[in-house]
């Protein structure tokens, strides 16, 4: 049955911040297209949100490390006549260890998921958004994109800094067409992220005031993109950290990251 509701595509929707965005969008009355690798989790979430909010939720399992993934996904949606009004580029993960310690294929897949796929999805969906005079794009970046990169997570901060700059450009390019883009930049957020990277025990040493919950990150992110903010840093603590590092000389900022990174890094380079 055709719907007049806005439709959102959420990547990495099976857990964490992606799942929280899906729940927030459903609460706001959006139809959903949910994509991630874990089909069972997507199906369970889609069923719950349909029953609870009366929206349409379509499951599209996909591994975005496939180079043909974004084109295939958008093509399938277009073939079904499903226009996307809201894009949540959330899919992501971390790769631990120094750059040369991982196979290049591991890094190539990381770059594909965290940088290439968000860029291509935006590229393929923006024309339709501009034609309809409405669009919202949220690129889930990180506080890490505002501070110097750390050893042992070589590409993570770099990928998030890319998303921030990319979002700023898209925000300017879409402003006159009703297409708002925001880089949402949370800090430490309760999710499965640290379990996947194997750093749960280490980051659990962080004080409680440093942490946020995923539903708050998603709600603030949607409010920020609706308000037309190109970059939004979640939480006052994270905003203060960003401001501090902006004022510090580069050399001092890098030394601070080096010292802190050793406290929360495991493996042969810890300590």
- Name the residue range of residue 14's domain: 7-263
Half-sphere exposure of 210 (CA within 13 A, CB side): 9
Which residues have a catalytic role annotated? 156
- The answer to whether 36 and 91 are in contact (CB under 8 A) is yes
* Nearest residue to 163 (alpha-carbon basis) of 187, 137, 189: 137
Q: What is the pLDDT of residue 259?
A: 84
Measure the CA–CA gap between 109 and 234, rounded to whole angstroms: 27
231-233, strands of its sheet edge to edge = 57-59, 31-35, 7-11, 86-89, 135-140, 179-185, 231-233
Domains identified in the chain, total number: 1
Measure the CA–CA gap between 260 and 244, rounded to whole angstroms: 15
Measure the CA–CA gap between 54 and 39, rounded to whole angstroms: 21
Q: What is the pLDDT of residue 200?
A: 42
pLDDT tens digits for 3-38?
689 999 999 999 999 999 999 999 999 999 999 999
**Residue 146 counted as domain residue:** yes
**Residue 271 counted as domain residue:** no
**Residue 1 counted as domain residue:** no
- The CATH number linked to 47 is 3.40.50.720
pLDDT tens digits for 141-173?
999 999 999 999 999 999 999 999 999 999 999
- The pTM assigned to this predicted structure is 0.89
Q: What is the pLDDT of residue 63?
A: 96
**Residue 205 counted as domain residue:** yes
Measure the CA–CA gap between 141 and 225, rounded to whole angstroms: 13
DSSP 153: B
- Per the structure block, which two tokens stand in for 177? 């067409």
Alpha helices (H) along 133-179: 156-174
Q: Coil, strand, or helix at residue 134?
A: coil
**Residue 238 counted as domain residue:** yes
Q: What is the pLDDT of residue 207?
A: 56
Below-70 pLDDT ranges, the chain: 1-3, 190-211, 261-271
Q: What is the pLDDT of residue 199?
A: 46
- The answer to whether 16 and 191 are in contact (CB under 8 A) is yes
**Residue 259 counted as domain residue:** yes
């Amino acid at each position: 049955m055709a719907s007049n509701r806005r439709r959102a595509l959420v990547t990495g929707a099976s857990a964490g911040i992606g799942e929280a965005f899906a729940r927030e969008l459903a609460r706001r009355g959006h139809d959903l297209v949910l994509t991630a690798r874990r089909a069972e989790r997507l199906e369970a979430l889609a069923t719950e949100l349909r029953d609870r909010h009366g929206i349409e939720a379509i499951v599209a399992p996909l591994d975005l490390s496939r180079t043909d993934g974004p084109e295939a996904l958008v093509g399938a949606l277009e073939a079904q006549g499903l226009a996307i009004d809201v894009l949540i580029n959330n899919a992501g993960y971390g790769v631990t260890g120094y750059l040369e310690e991982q196979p290049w294929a591991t890094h190539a897949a990381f770059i594909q998921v965290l940088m290439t796929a968000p860029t291509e999805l935006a590229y393929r969906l923006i024309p339709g958004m501009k034609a309809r005079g409405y669009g919202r794009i949220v690129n889930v970046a990180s506080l890490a994109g505002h501070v110097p990169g750390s050893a042992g997570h070589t590409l993570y901060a770099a990928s998030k800094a890319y998303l921030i700059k990319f979002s700023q450009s898209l925000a300017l390019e879409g402003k006159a067409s009703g297409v708002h883009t925001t880089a949402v930049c949370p800090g430490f957020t309760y999710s499965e992220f640290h379990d996947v990277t194997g750093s749960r025990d280490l980051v659990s040493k962080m004080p409680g005031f440093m942490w946020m919950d995923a539903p708050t990150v998603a709600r603030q992110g949607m409010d920020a993109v609706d308000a037309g903010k190109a970059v939004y840093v979640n939480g006052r603590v994270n905003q203060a950290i960003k401001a501090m590092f902006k004022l510090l000389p580069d050399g001092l900022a890098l030394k601070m990251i080096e010292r802190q990174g050793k406290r929360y890094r495991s493996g042969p380079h810890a300590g």
